[in-house]
Amino acid sequence: MKKLMWPFAALLFLAIPLHSQSDKAWRSKVSPDILIALDKGEKPDLIVVFREQADLSAARRIHGKVEKARFVYQSLESLAERAQARATRIVRERQASANRLLLVNAMSVEHADAALTRALAELGEVKWLGADPWVRFPGPFKAEEHIPAERSTVEWGIAKINAPDVWALGYTGQGVTVGGSDTGYEWWHPALKNSYRGWTGDSATTSHTYNWHDAIHELNPLNGDTTANPFNNPCGLDSPTPCDDSKHGTHTMGTMTGDDGMGNQIGVAPGAKWIGCRNMERNWGKPSSYLECFGWFLAPTDLNGENPDPSKSPDVINNSWYCATFEGCNDLSIDSLLLTAVINMKAAGIVVVVSNGNAGNNGTCGTTNDPPAFFRESFSVGAIESNDTVAGYSSRGPVMIDGSLRTKPNVVAPGSFVRSSVPNGGYEHFWGTSMAGPHVVGLVALMLSAKPELTGEVETIEDMIEQTAVYFADTTDCPPTLGTDRPNHAYGWGRVDALAAVNAAIAWSPVSVAEPLALTAAVFPNPARGQAVFDLKNITGPVTLELFAADGKRVFSKNWTAAAHELVPVSLKHLPQGVYFWRLRATNGVASGKLEVGN
């Protein structure tokens, strides 16, 4: 996801009036917040949402996370190359600063003026231009700061979910990678260093490539400063090494994997490895930074944002943050992008754990209202106290904001008085659903270390966690659900039980029903002259093969009913030299790619 840095140049033409009759069409595709900013002469940040989204349904028939992630990444990359071609050219011509959000086929643009905004909105392939506001994340519900947190052998939350019983079976998360998207991470903290995937045991050879990404490329203007220095922002921008400019991220990672080997057993899965992405700048994030981290986890890159590799994606990711609607993250198209990100990550075989929110207000119903917690596809986690009562701050269902009345959270986990790591090698107690979610991430790591064959089977993993959770009734009814129902709007399916979930994982075996093979498609030669041949395998039913020019115009189409394996020649004699994109649709899946045509 290499960032395209093109400083704005002066535009040598007259400004176009913003309120003429001819403006109505393009203005109807632009967020009201952006239009207001443009009318004031400002240059807002925006997200370009493209109409076409990838068909990833074939991923369901692929087993194994690496294979799933590779298929999803290749499908999304091919789509973005084709669908974003004209928008990319416009941004380059205007020497603007933009970043491709491949996971959701979108593009973030910084400081867009009226002319650039209009040019993008007038593209037929563009669906919407959404606002990209800075959103304040308040951190944990409560933090016990500057008070020494005394060491205990095993933290209460770790014991509460029976993680030590799983360790006794020999499963500590070994062979599993967890990911965290947060304020950053102090990788050299004694409780985190040994579990950091980039740590080799030697500082000279430690590598942050494919193990760390900083999605913060500019200072948040709401902090009131214009230059980064260690006094106002200890991490700077585009940090090449893991760094935490708050405490929140380091604390959450400690609950996932933390163990200093000297009695600080703060993590559920101390044998797992971790990688991280910073999506907030001093607790301020924005939709594009959240989406950038999601996309990086799909296919981690080197420190230059290049050479993405989906085989290095984590098995499960923690998201102890939310995109607050009351602070400007209220654009439905942006909510839709965050939802698409969760869906596509799950299609890639990556478990997405989300904290349910701290708006519970002492048991108030209908307080799970911020994305991504309220999405049906998110595995949302509420918080309990040490006596198994739901914490008063823990948000509850039903989900009201979209009218679905769906039950949330999915499950609950320890979230109060949670002792974990903080920067500068310290430990503190925090309260919040941000502390509960990491317990579940660690639980997933324990399950996968006990049953590696489960890796990538997201729905099965989520079902196991829910079905093995310890049931609790709540004294409050949140219609249409009663407090005695299972699931209910306070506990969801119940408090997670690591031992029961791991035992269920060990007993699991894949359904022995033969599933159709996913189709594969390759083109040769590539680059090609005059003719290219498509080698299609495991292909069934009606088939459509299409070629598109770089501007999105379709230049070739062929329909037929396919056999299992076919070689399909395509004449290229009518096509000028250049880069083209092909897309194949069949009954049992889709495939796409790039084709270079030479003279």
**Domain boundaries defined on the chain:** 21-132, 142-507, 520-597
User: Tokens 């650039």 sit at which residue?
Assistant: 116
> Smallest Cα–Cα separation from 148: which of 419, 455, 447, 364?
419
Cβ–Cβ under 8 Å, residues 571 and 531: yes
> Smallest Cα–Cα separation from 461: which of 430, 521, 502?
502
User: Tokens 């941004």 sit at which residue?
Assistant: 91
Dist. CA 268–CA 446, nearest whole Å: 8
Dist. CA 102–CA 438, nearest whole Å: 26
User: Tokens 């003026």 sit at which residue?
Assistant: 113
φ and ψ of 436, to 5 deg: -75, -45
φ and ψ of 193, to 5 deg: -60, -50
Dist. CA 55–CA 82, nearest whole Å: 15
| Max CA separation in the chain (angstroms) | 75
Exposed, middle or buried by CB within 10 Å (0-12, 13-18, 19+), for 548? Answer: buried
Q: Is 476 helix (H, G, I), strand (E, B) or coil?
A: coil
Q: What is the pLDDT of residue 587?
A: 77
Q: What residues are paired with 532 via a beta bridge?
A: 570
Cβ–Cβ under 8 Å, residues 196 and 273: yes
HEC letters along 132-191: CCCEECCCCCEEECCCCCCCCCECHHHHHCCHHHHHHCCCCCCCCEEEEEECECCCCCCC
Strands 531-537 and 565-571: antiparallel
Q: What is the pLDDT of residue 66?
A: 94
Cβ–Cβ under 8 Å, residues 395 and 360: yes
Token duo for residue 170: 């020999």
Cβ–Cβ under 8 Å, residues 164 and 172: no
Cβ–Cβ under 8 Å, residues 272 and 174: yes
Tens place of pLDDT per residue across the chain (599 aa) = 545 444 333 332 333 444 555 677 899 999 999 999 999 999 999 999 999 999 999 898 898 999 999 999 999 999 999 999 999 999 999 999 999 999 999 999 999 999 999 999 999 999 999 999 888 766 565 555 544 455 557 999 999 999 999 999 999 999 999 999 999 999 999 999 999 999 999 988 999 999 999 999 988 877 777 776 767 778 999 999 999 999 999 999 999 999 999 989 999 999 999 999 999 998 888 999 999 999 999 999 999 999 999 999 999 999 999 987 765 577 777 889 999 999 999 999 999 999 999 999 999 999 999 999 999 999 999 999 999 999 999 999 999 998 899 999 999 999 999 999 999 999 999 999 999 999 999 999 999 999 999 999 999 999 999 999 999 999 999 998 999 999 999 999 999 999 999 999 999 987 643 445 667 888 888 888 888 988 888 887 888 998 888 777 889 999 988 877 888 889 998 899 888 888 888 877 778 888 889 87
DSSP 47-79: EEEES-----GGGGG--SHHHHHHHHHHHHHHH
Dist. CA 580–CA 570, nearest whole Å: 13
Exposed, middle or buried by CB within 10 Å (0-12, 13-18, 19+), for 434? Answer: buried
C-alpha distances (whole Å) from 382 to each of 34, 36, 286, 390, 458 are: 35, 37, 23, 8, 20
Q: What is the pLDDT of residue 310?
A: 96
φ and ψ of 61, to 5 deg: -95, 5
Dist. CA 440–CA 316, nearest whole Å: 10
Q: What is 142-507's CATH topology?
A: Rossmann fold (3.40.50)
Cβ–Cβ under 8 Å, residues 583 and 557: no
CATH class of 520-597: mainly beta
Token duo for residue 200: 């080799």
pTM of the shown model: 0.83
Q: 493: part of which helix (H) or strand (E)?
A: none
Token duo for residue 315: 């098995």
> Smallest Cα–Cα separation from 75: which of 587, 585, 525, 538?
585
